[in-house]
């Protein structure tokens, strides 16, 4: 494609930095799930006295549970989308270095698409 003039070594540096940040995002999302669960358990109940050992859920805990459930897919989308973009940029750069600008453009276009349901379920390429 006309207009392509990239520096593959610089792309690799940026992709490495981006991959590091994406991995931290995954760690943060795991901490998010743990924190949400802890917050729900600590939110209190409508029961006076000592809470049952299994926990008793009040309105705040219920709301936190609903919030977590309703944001789970969005957070997974972020992780899968990040990985797809990083992988696509790396593959497009390899095609560019090989001199196949058409394949580089096709790879870039594919990576720019939103993750498919299979990709979101971790079934891509199966």
Instruction: Give average pLDDT by consecutive 10-residue segment, the chain, 126 residues.
Output: 79 94 86 84 67 67 86 88 92 90 89 89 69
Rounded Cα–Cα distance for residues 104 and 95 (Å): 5
Asked if 79 and 25 count as a contact pair (C-beta separation under 8 A), the reply is yes
| Structure-token pair, residue 70 | 């309703």
DSSP assignment letter at 50? S
The token pair that represents 83 in the structure block: 């990985």
How high is the pLDDT of residue 1? 46
Centre a 10 Å sphere on the Cβ of residue 26 and count the other Cβ atoms it contains: 14
Provide the whole-model pTM.
Answer: 0.71
Residue located via tokens 């789970």: 72
Nearest to 78 by CA among 29, 18, 20, 117: 29
Cβ neighbours of 53 (radius 10 Å)? 6
69, 19 in Cβ contact below 8 A?
Answer: no
In the chain, domain spans:
8-43+56-120
* Local structure of residue 123 (DSSP, 8 states): -
Number of Cα atoms under 13 Å in the Cβ half of residue 59: 1
The per-residue pLDDT for 48 is: 62
């Amino acid at each position: 494609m006309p207009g392509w003039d990239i520096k593959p070594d610089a792309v690799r540096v940026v992709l490495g930095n981006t991959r590091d940040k994406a991995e931290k995002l995954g760690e943060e999302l795991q901490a998010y799930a743990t924190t949400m669960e802890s917050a729900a358990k600590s939110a209190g109940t409508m029961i006076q006295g000592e809470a049952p050992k299994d926990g008793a859920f009040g309105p705040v805990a219920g709301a936190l549970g609903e919030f977590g459930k309703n944001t789970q897919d969005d957070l997974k989308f972020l992780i899968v989308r990040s990985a797809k973009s990083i992988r696509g940029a790396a593959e497009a750069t390899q095609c560019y270095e090989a001199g196949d600008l058409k394949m580089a453009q096709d790879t870039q276009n594919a990576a720019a698409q939103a993750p498919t349901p299979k990709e979101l379920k971790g079934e891509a390429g199966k």
